[in-house]
Structure 1
């Protein structure tokens, strides 16, 4: 019995030992397969990112780090009002169309893409600004340097001890171009490496140690290394796999250590030798750039480079050319023959004249979407513009006329800007805008229009006509623009009795009107039913007629009457009738009011109220808060500074409905 017990115990120990060894082998095999699969997936993802990275920076990007959130409420601008209570320049209050973005005074369309700096790409997405920092590709060369004006390092031959500005003509090609040259070959070589490694492991398992005892001559080893697609005999372009990154190399070292217990010494010609990282040679066809120009991804930038002509560049892969701030005077027919794939062309701030533009200068640009010619000396629209254009800017030129053929074939144009020219109703043909079937954004400010231009496209959504000489708005001005959403008519000569009753009252989509700095003496009647934003600052308004907002649905939300001549007699209980439930922001600052206007306590949705810089002397308990209602007020910002209020005499119940007293600004007050 004792012998049988010892035998069973001995067999159990042997079984556990074998099982533990098998389990350890299985665990190593699983770990090895996991690392191999992980490395393969990471390499595939890396290749995919390299091949598609440039598309994410030049086309609509998928922003990963939203750093700016812009909407059209005035709540984000309150701090500037606190610091500059009397500055008119801080009253930029006109919201844009829903979905558009207002960035530093510029309206960006939904899905618009721009770069505020070389390392950032921003996207307007449904009213929000999403910005994404440029992701630099890893370099495989031993030494790198970041050129001035760039955000990604490039290869250099020597180690840089101090920051050095590399001349544009000395810049190595960007990594994207290297990927275009080596992408397919590197992909093929990596696939061959995986297959070769699997075959080599299988061969080792079947042959055992026989290969150790077979010395090879140097010539045979060299011949076999050439035939075998391993690390030693690999062509130069396939050796790019050696520089896949430090993390991947560490994974390979761990894998080799784990497999070291299972593998015996292998033949010398297949030993994992340390690979020499090759310095990438410039790809074929890299354009030669003049002094002062730089190349970044698919963009050639020659900003303020003292150019007198458009440089002859052969680079079919370039999609963006920037020639801002030079002394270019002409555009010959062959100027862009070497850049057939241009999508964006910026020629602003040069000395280009209309007579010096060849009739076929833009004809070969079949993919051009954005053309900027601001700040030149053009007297008419360039001829034969590409039909692919979506954005055309000719601001601050000397345009004298727009005829019927000026915009022919531009049926995809979405945005057109021609501010700061000599245009008027006398030299703009009413049929000029007819071909623009997709136009939604039109800027004609700083011209000489006396009336609203005729023949506006039916697709128009935003119309900017500020700084003209417009005196009246007739009934037929907006008959065919049923989609119009924003109208800006600030700094004109419009009087309220020169606005026809049927000019825009039946517009169903018109939400924003800016009539600031005109000659209005009262708030205009017959405003659009759909109006949400009304800007009337800087007029001579003395009266808000009763029920003037009563017909609006869903109701006026933003009313700005700053810098007018309102007194207590010009505002009564029914002046805001129809907007009590909807008004969110009310600006009555810089007027002549001596009391809190009636009806304020009935505004259930009011968030921002400005009454500063008036002549108010006291605040009664029920002028702002309604004592009969227990609900808290929605007021978040109340400005009463620069009046004649004695703060110590204010009733403790005057602001009882306001949630936070920090929202109330009472100081400083004037002393009379």
Structure 2
């Protein structure tokens, strides 16, 4: 009987264990998947935090700053630090080499921080520009003004003096009332100390020698010093507690007259009511009216100057004369500023004839010269050989000859945008002296071809808003270091790009051909290309294998605002980019269904298909159900199509981590 009961008991336990295991198997699987995703997300968050630790101060400050929109260009999208985590990409941004950012035609390195305006701070992060504005504390005074070169409003001088006078005359002083018991104990202790001091003096008189003793004079001096010191201590004590004798009050009458009515009661003590005003710096230079001095920078911005002010200040390294009415720069205008490193003369009326031949020659330390927005027709002569940055945008330059840029072998940045330059008035040997030039900006001119004679050191070339029609085989023969080429808003057709124009460039990673006359995605693109921007063309087709030769592979492809149809996207159109493509923007086209090959893109993070003519989303068009690993797809835009959202399969978006990042509304009704 016992064996039977034991047998049934063991049998029952076996069934219970098997049933429990079978019941908990899917639960364990779900738990494993959950913890695996949690672990992966935590690792990614930890990694992102560790990366953000590179600029902890900036991110911390940015967390409380509002977003600011900067008027740089309609082609560039600036985002705030506040949208830093989980922010979405924009096809209008052309990322540079290793995450560099395009800012007003200039490429900023990854993690670079700069201030384009006095109250704005910007950060370059993985090819995106994040900008924020300084937050000011509110002022209580009724009238405020913003000083030149400052960000926040301050009270006017009159208002500030009135507020200080009101504060001293009306508000009671900060005081701490003493308890009566403590006050009584303090007075008793003071009397006891006086009695002890008198006893000590009597004992010293008894112990001292007679009048004929040689040490008598010394003892009298010491007693006299002791009496004086005790009197000083008594004065300090009585000043502190406000209990003085009549004799001491007479001696302190002068001090009391100076203090006026600010006497202290015996039962209170307080801090000095007035804050000392700092003295002006010694040897400060004499400045024109409305100019300001900050550290080693003199700012005379929009102060209606008509000539260079005569300033003698050898310690000054930066001079800002922006937005005045200066028309000429005579020789020796900056003789009083021999250590000048940065000179900003933008937005004046300076003419080429008004610049003396030796106006800049003796500035032996000048590194940055800005003459944007003037009336120059030629580059000033005899510029310092120490120059590293030269900006002459928005002038009326009529040409560049062979001697215009001579001796500028340290120049890194040259900006000549918005002039009347063309291949007919720019000498092919004009750029030859520029041995260190990396960034060249020639946008908004009249070039019909790529300028000849580009320096071998060039890395970034900007030729937007010209009239360029073709790219020949010899354009970039000597520019093996070139990394970014911007050719948007020109007249280029795909059949006018020579097959050997740039296919063998080993460092060329970013090309912007937006707003040209392309009907197909160009062939013979560089092997090293990572970013391709083709927004705003008339592209109807992506040829097969057009990206197949690229190594390591295309990462960013922007084809928004074109005329793509499903017939123009072949099954092998994206061949060669399946493993590398991170962002694919096909919005504002004529697609009627999800293009083939999307589910094969393993590295894809951002996908835009909004503003097309898509009606249905079938399973496995975006997510592959057979894949067991987690997808990298984070953002999906499908709004403004003709999709019936209620008919979408529940498995259509199973690979996307968060459904909140799937944009389906609104949809068009037809």
TM-score (norm 1): 0.67
The structure 2 residue matched to 1:606, chosen from 588, 600, 604, is 604
CA distances 1:323-350 after superposition (whole Å, capped 9, x unpaired): 1111110000121111111111110010
Shift of 1:132: 13
In structure 2, how many angstroms separate the alpha carbons of the residues matched to 1:348 and 1:500? 40
Contact 2:334 2:363 in 1 (8 A): yes
Residue 213 of structure 1 aligns with which residue?
223
DSSP-derived class of the 2:660 partner: helix
Q: 1:135-150 alignment to 2 at 5 Å?
A: 149-150=149-150
In structure 1, how many angstroms separate the alpha carbons of the residues matched to 2:601 and 2:55? 40
CA distances 1:356-377 after superposition (whole Å, capped 9, x unpaired): 0000000111111111000000
Shift of 1:466: 0.4
Shift in CA distance, 395/508, structure 1 to aligned 2, threshold 3 Å: same
The structure 2 residue matched to 1:536, chosen from 531, 534, 537, is 534
Q: 1:652-671 alignment to 2 at 5 Å?
A: 652-671=650-669
DSSP-derived class of the 1:497 partner: helix
CA distances 1:624-655 after superposition (whole Å, capped 9, x unpaired): 11122222321111111111111111112211
The structure 2 residue matched to 1:325, chosen from 319, 323, 326, is 323
Unaligned runs of 5+ in 2: 1-53, 64-75, 135-144, 166-217, 229-271
Larger Rg: 2
Shift of 1:110: 7.2
Contact 1:66 1:132 in 2 (8 A): no
Shift of 1:106: 5.3
TM-score (norm 2): 0.67
Residue 546 of structure 2 aligns with which residue?
548
CA distances 1:160-208 after superposition (whole Å, capped 9, x unpaired): 34499xxxxxxxxxxxxxxxxxxxxxxxxxxxxxxxxxxxxxxxxxxx9
Shift of 1:281: 5.1
Unaligned runs of 5+ in 1: 1-61, 135-144, 165-207, 219-273
Residue 98 of structure 1 aligns with which residue?
98
CA distances 1:204-238 after superposition (whole Å, capped 9, x unpaired): xxxx99974354999xxxxxxxxxxxxxxxxxxxx
CA distances 1:474-493 after superposition (whole Å, capped 9, x unpaired): 11101110010000000000
Residue 632 of structure 1 aligns with which residue?
630
DSSP-derived class of the 2:57 partner: coil
DSSP-derived class of the 1:65 partner: helix
Shift in CA distance, 548/77, structure 1 to aligned 2, threshold 3 Å: farther
DSSP-derived class of the 1:321 partner: strand
Residue 107 of structure 1 aligns with which residue?
107
Contact 2:548 2:576 in 1 (8 A): yes
Q: 1:80-91 alignment to 2 at 5 Å?
A: 91=91
Aligned residue pairs: how many?
493
Residue 418 of structure 1 aligns with which residue?
416
CA distances 1:122-164 after superposition (whole Å, capped 9, x unpaired): 7879979999999xxxxxxxxxx9966547999x999834499
Q: 1:15-30 alignment to 2 at 5 Å?
A: none
Shift in CA distance, 146/78, structure 1 to aligned 2, threshold 3 Å: closer
Is 1:65 the equivalent of 2:54? Answer: no
Shift in CA distance, 147/519, structure 1 to aligned 2, threshold 3 Å: closer
In structure 2, how many angstroms separate the alpha carbons of the residues matched to 1:315 and 1:500? 56
Shift of 1:77: 8.9
In structure 2, how many angstroms separate the alpha carbons of the residues matched to 1:120 and 1:638? 32
In structure 1, how many angstroms separate the alpha carbons of the residues matched to 2:367 and 2:96? 23
Q: 1:577-596 alignment to 2 at 5 Å?
A: 577-596=575-594
The structure 2 residue matched to 1:395, chosen from 375, 393, 396, is 393
Shift in CA distance, 388/99, structure 1 to aligned 2, threshold 3 Å: farther
Contact 1:538 1:564 in 2 (8 A): yes
Contact 2:450 2:471 in 1 (8 A): yes
Q: 1:27-46 alignment to 2 at 5 Å?
A: none
Residue 310 of structure 2 aligns with which residue?
312
Contact 1:321 1:346 in 2 (8 A): yes
Shift of 1:421: 0.3
The structure 2 residue matched to 1:622, chosen from 620, 630, 650, is 620
Q: CA RMSD in A?
A: 3.8
Q: 1:358-507 alignment to 2 at 5 Å?
A: 358-507=356-505
DSSP-derived class of the 1:160 partner: helix
Shift in CA distance, 412/367, structure 1 to aligned 2, threshold 3 Å: same
In structure 1, how many angstroms separate the alpha carbons of the residues matched to 2:578 and 2:484? 23
Residue 288 of structure 1 aligns with which residue?
286
Q: 1:150-189 alignment to 2 at 5 Å?
A: 150=150, 160-162=161-163
Contact 2:331 2:359 in 1 (8 A): yes
In structure 1, how many angstroms separate the alpha carbons of the residues matched to 2:632 and 2:514? 28
Shift of 1:293: 0.9
The structure 2 residue matched to 1:651, chosen from 649, 652, 657, is 649
DSSP-derived class of the 1:98 partner: helix
Shift in CA distance, 111/337, structure 1 to aligned 2, threshold 3 Å: farther
Contact 2:80 2:130 in 1 (8 A): no
